[in-house]
């Protein structure tokens, strides 16, 4: 569970404005059922993250710390149909990456692994950080660490 002190003042303000509060819990049963039906193994880290940050949308743009700030939404239903992409990237890094939302109005997807690391999932793979640090990076416009700059050719 995230604490207010886990975030900078700027990130905290943005999260509060989007409806987040410490200890917040949303019902994730429908998301988990839909992901499971589509073949995704929803691990405990994803469940905890979605219960706390699910349905949070931050709608802004502009200059960030090391990349532009982009709107994002924590809602795994926005990733339905893309499960194979998450599975394949997860296979490459030896992790289970569960879809959790989208970035930049669906141009990119967000996922989380069993250790709580938040990923940018597109035709390349980046990592924003784990848990609160990952959320902070999304809010403040911190570029993800590149894990793979393109999908490896077989």
Tens-place pLDDT, residues 33-88: 999 999 999 999 999 999 999 999 999 878 999 999 999 999 999 999 999 999 99
Give the helix/strand (H/E) hosting 141.
none
Q: How many CA atoms lie within 13 A of 51 on its CB side?
A: 12
List of E strands, the chain: 57-58, 72-74, 98-103, 108-112, 117-121, 125-130, 145-148
Site of tokens 């943005």: 14
pLDDT at 49: 96
* Tokens encoding 58: 């931050």
Letter string b/e over residues 24-38, b meaning 16 or more CB atoms within 10 A of that residue's CB: beeebeebbeebeee
Rg (C-alpha) for the chain, rounded Å, is 14
Of the two residues 152 and 7, the one the predictor is more confident about is 7
């Amino acid at each position: 569970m995230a604490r207010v002190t886990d975030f900078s003042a700027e990130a905290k303000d943005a999260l509060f404005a989007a409806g987040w509060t410490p200890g917040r819990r949303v019902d994730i049963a429908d998301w988990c059922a839909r992901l499971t039906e589509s073949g995704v193994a929803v691990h405990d880290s994803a469940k905890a993250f979605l219960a706390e940050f699910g349905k949070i949308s931050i709608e802004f743009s502009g200059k960030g710390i090391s990349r532009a700030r982009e709107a994002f939404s924590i809602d795994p239903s926005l990733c339905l149909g893309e499960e194979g992409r998450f599975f394949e990237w997860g296979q490459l890094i030896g992790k289970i990456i569960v879809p959790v939302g989208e970035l930049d109005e669906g141009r990119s997807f967000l996922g989380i692994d069993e250790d709580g690391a938040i990923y940018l999932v597109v035709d390349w793979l980046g990592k924003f950080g784990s848990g609160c640090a990952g959320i902070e990076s999304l809010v403040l416009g911190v570029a993800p660490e590149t894990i793979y700059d393109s999908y490896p050719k077989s």
